[in-house]
């Protein structure tokens, strides 16, 4: 496992993303995998990161295609596509 | 629709593989993945399931000549939903391209499960459903239909027109061909002539230069000896007078 961390699609969000990722990876191995977790930790860091993401998703015009993809394969459905119209 | 399948085994326990999966990028093999973002993540303590929505940003995987159809942006986006089930030791990741999805859709499903025969191994399964969209087929059909129609309309009219054009061109070609041949012959002759002339001129000039040079040298010699002779005579006269 390399120590390199992936970047955000928006360079402005990379720092926030990496802070969140570090927190999440720790939670995942130390708590989630060990069955010790009772809630989704690192939420505060993620909210800061998400605010940045939302701004740039809109700015870079990714939002419309994301909305479409979400309606086709909802998060609540685990990403399984809903019935195709055609 | 086409389906692609592949299965592999990792020699690591499922826990390690599932943790490493979050840190898969960047790696030196998948250099086309330039960014990974977490768009949404929910953990259900009861079922012990973790669902994550990610945005994978890639460098445009299409050839540059095609990019004018898709747009100039060289980034392409993939959305991925993963579900980690800690209790069954399974990770399921479903992804689909968002860029170019009107033309082509690639639904990929990847699963990591604990090998039931060896707990220190993880089974990897990958399925991709590739669908070229109806809109593309319809577009092609329409271009084809239009082309066939135009061909029918113009075929009879075109035949006559083309015949006359062919005839005209043929005549021109024949005339042109004979002209070309004679022209080439002329050029050849002219070239040899010129070369011959150049050779002749050169030797004449060289000969002339030689001759001229000889004449000049001879003249210089003669003049010099005359001058020397005069100088000598003058000198002896002066010497005589002096005595």
pLDDT (tens place) for every residue of chain B, 243 residues total = 778 888 888 888 899 888 888 888 877 777 778 899 999 999 999 999 999 999 999 886 555 555 555 555 678 899 999 999 999 999 999 999 888 777 678 888 989 999 999 999 999 888 888 777 656 566 666 656 665 665 555 454 445 555 555 555 556 556 655 555 555 555 555 555 555 555 565 566 666 666 666 666 666 666 666 666 666 666 676 666 665
pLDDT value for B139:
60
What are the extents of the domains in chain B? 2-182
Alpha-carbon distances of B42 from A42, B4, B16, B39, B215, rounded to whole Å: 11, 30, 21, 10, 110
pLDDT value for B11:
87
Between CA B54 and CA A27 the distance in angstroms is 18
pLDDT value for B72:
56
pLDDT value for B30:
72
Question: Which chain B residues have a beta carbon less than 8 Å from that of A13?
Answer: 37
Between CA B105 and CA B53 the distance in angstroms is 18
Here the tokens at position B88 are 């069954």
3-state helix, strand, coil in chain B (%, to 5): 50, 30, 20
Rg (CA), chain A: 16
Please tell me if residue B146 touches chain A, with a CB cutoff of 8 Å.
no
Binary contact (A9, B101; C-beta < 8 A): no
Of B51, B24, B18, the C-alpha closest to B36 is B24
Question: Which chain B residues have a beta carbon less than 8 Å from that of A54?
Answer: none
pLDDT value for B82:
97
pLDDT value for B25:
80
Provide φ and ψ at A66, rounded to 5°: -70, -45
* Of residues A7, A46, A81, nearest to B107 (C-beta): A81
Provide φ and ψ at B119, rounded to 5°: -65, -15
Question: Which chain A residues have a beta carbon less than 8 Å from that of B18?
Answer: 33
Window from A27-31, A59-63, B36-40, B193-197 with minimum mean pLDDT: B193-197
Alpha-carbon distances of B215 from B202, B210, B218, B224, B225, rounded to whole Å: 19, 8, 5, 14, 15
Averaged pLDDT, A19-44: 92
Binned at pLDDT 50, 70 and 90, residue A1 comes out as very low
Binary contact (A33, B134; C-beta < 8 A): no
Report the CATH number of the B2-182 domain: 3.30.530.20
Tell me the HSE value of A75 on the side-chain side, using a 13 A CA sphere.
Answer: 14
Binary contact (B26, A28; C-beta < 8 A): no
Alpha-carbon distances of B242 from A58, B231, B237, B239, rounded to whole Å: 120, 16, 8, 5
The pTM assigned to this predicted structure is 0.65
Long-range own/partner contacts, residues B163-167 (CB < 8 A, 24 or more apart): none
Q: What angle do CA B48, A69, B20 make, to 5 degrees?
A: 40
Averaged pLDDT, A48-67: 95
């Amino acid at each position: 496992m390399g120590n390199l961390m992936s970047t955000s699609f928006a360079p402005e969000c990379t720092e926030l993303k990496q802070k969140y990722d570090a927190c999440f990876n720790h939670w995942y191995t130390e708590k989630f995998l060990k069955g010790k977790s009772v809630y989704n930790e690192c939420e505060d860091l993620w909210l800061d990161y998400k605010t940045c993401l939302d701004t740039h998703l809109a700015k870079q015009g990714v939002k419309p295609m994301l909305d479409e993809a979400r309606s086709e394969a909802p998060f609540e459905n685990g990403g399984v596509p809903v019935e195709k119209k055609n | 629709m086409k389906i692609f399948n592949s299965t592999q085994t990792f020699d690591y326990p499922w826990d390690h593989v599932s943790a490493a999966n979050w840190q898969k990028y960047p790696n030196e093999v998948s250099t086309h993945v330039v960014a990974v973002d977490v768009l949404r993540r929910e953990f259900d303590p009861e079922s012990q399931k973790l669902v994550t929505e990610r945005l994978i940003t890639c460098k445009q995987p299409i050839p540059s000549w095609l990019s004018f159809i898709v747009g100039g942006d060289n980034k392409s986006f993939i959305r991925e939903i993963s579900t980690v089930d800690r209790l069954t030791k399974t990770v399921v990741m479903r992804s689909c391209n968002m860029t170019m999805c009107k033309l082509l859709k690639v639904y990929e499903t990847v699963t990591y499960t604990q090998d039931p025969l060896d707990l220190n191994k993880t089974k990897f399964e990958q399925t991709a459903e590739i669908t070229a969209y109806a809109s593309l087929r319809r577009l092609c059909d329409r271009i084809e239909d239009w082309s066939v129609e135009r061909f029918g309309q113009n075929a009879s009219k075109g035949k006559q027109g083309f015949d006359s054009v062919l005839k005209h061109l043929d005549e021109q070609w024949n005339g042109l061909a004979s002209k070309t041949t004679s022209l080439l012959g002329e050029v050849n002759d002219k070239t040899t002539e010129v070369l011959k002339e150049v050779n002749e001129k050169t030797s004449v000039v060289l000969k002339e230069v030689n001759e001229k040079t000889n004449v000049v040298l001879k003249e210089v010699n003669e003049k010099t000896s005359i001058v020397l002779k005069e100088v000598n005579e003058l000198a002896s006269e002066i010497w005589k007078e002096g005595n």
